[in-house]
Structure 1
Amino acid sequence: MAKNIGILVCPLIMVMDIVAGVLGIKAEIAQKKVEHYRAWIFECGDPSYQAFKLGLAATVLLSVAHVIANLLGGCICITSKEELDQASPNKQLAAASLILSWILLAVAFTMVISETLANSKSRRDCRLAQHHLLFIGGAICFIHGLILVTYYVSTVAVFREKKKLNEHEG
């Protein structure tokens, strides 16, 4: 792992997630501009190609930011309760933020991609009304970025702790 790569990785992750969030919100706005009408709990309307493009870009950026953080951050695994109790605070934070980042990725990705795919159809359709999924998914992208930066920073701290411990032992 390069020595001061974090000064580039953390802003890159944040920018990618912020842009993904903004694109998700803009996709919601573009989707609302298309003609829709409601019939009880169903919503009918034409798909928005602009919302499709923005949603797809948001999904890609969200995924790439997650992959970068996980590849460059390394893997911090805690396999038992005893290991969790003996782990340093940095390792506990890394493990918790890793789990939370995967949960946020799953929620945001599902919300954004479901509405993106709904806008990819070339015909008018009716479906259950799903309010603001692109907006909510975009907002979760912001939180996802913060958690990914926390994960990256805490994993780097864990690896530095291990390196110092190995230097003192050897």
Structure 2
Amino acid sequence: MAKNIGFLVCISIMALDFTAGILGIEAEIAENKVKHLKLWIFDCRDPSYTAFKLSLAAAVLLALAHVIANLLGGCICIWSKEELDRATANKQLAAASLIFSWVILAVAFSMLILGTLSNSTSRKDCGISHHRLMSIGGVLCFIHGLFAVAYYVSAVAAIAEEKKLNQHHHQQGQA
């Protein structure tokens, strides 16, 4: 039963991240459909309510996927070089995946939120052009899904290894 739950968690994380990625790309497409005037690096355009909704939904789904992976994966932390040297491969992979997933989350979430904010105004917006924020954020959602699943799987495996090792040491202590 636990293996089935792990599979469902992985599928859920990937589905949320995949959907967030698609929504981010669709938000960029919707933003590009509104009327705009470009003059060198300056861009004047009307906000797109559709892009606003899509990029906000993408940011929420990305955050939800990250929360699920981190809550259900448990806490895998390595605090020192000595602990890193002694850690199992699963624990090292979990720690590395955790770091990468947080970095990708920060960048993707920021890009999606900036895209959301740029489409939230009710007036025409003129400023320096910053295209592709939401589509890059959307692509990063796909990558986040890979690292979030890698973290979840390796963290669960590291916790299982640690329990097995502690049980083995406990049985040796009784003998």
TM-score of the pair, normalised by structure 1: 0.97
The equivalent of 2:173 in structure 1 is none
Amino acid at match of 1:85: D
- Once the two structures are superposed, residues 29-64 of structure 1 have per-residue CA deviations (whole angstroms, 9 ceiling, x without a partner) of 000000111122111100000000000100000000
Offset, 1:151:
0.1
- How large is the RMSD of aligned CA atoms in angstroms? 0.9
Equivalent runs, 1:88-127 vs 2, <5 Å: 88-127=88-127
Rg (Cα) greater in structure? 2
Task: Count residues in correspondence.
Answer: 169
Offset, 1:131:
1.8
The equivalent of 2:165 in structure 1 is 165
Amino acid at match of 1:20: A
- Once the two structures are superposed, residues 98-122 of structure 1 have per-residue CA deviations (whole angstroms, 9 ceiling, x without a partner) of 0000000000001111011110100
User: What are structure 1's unaligned runs of at least 5 residues?
Assistant: none
- List structure 1 segments (4+ residues) > 3 angstroms apart after TM superposition: none
Aligned sequence identity (%):
65
Q: Which moved more, 1:17-26 or 1:157-166?
A: 157-166
Amino acid at match of 2:88: S
The equivalent of 2:2 in structure 1 is 3
Amino acid at match of 1:43: D
User: What are structure 2's unaligned runs of at least 5 residues?
Assistant: 171-175
The equivalent of 1:143 in structure 2 is 143
Q: Which moved more, 1:36-45 or 1:26-35?
A: 36-45
**Correspondence 1:71 to 2:109:** no
Secondary structure, counterpart of 1:37 in structure 2: strand
Offset, 1:3:
2.6
The equivalent of 2:86 in structure 1 is 86
The equivalent of 1:56 in structure 2 is 56
| Mapped partners of 2:37, 2:17: distance in 1 | 32
Offset, 1:76:
0.5
Amino acid at match of 2:26: K
**Correspondence 1:36 to 2:72:** no
TM-score of the pair, normalised by structure 2: 0.94
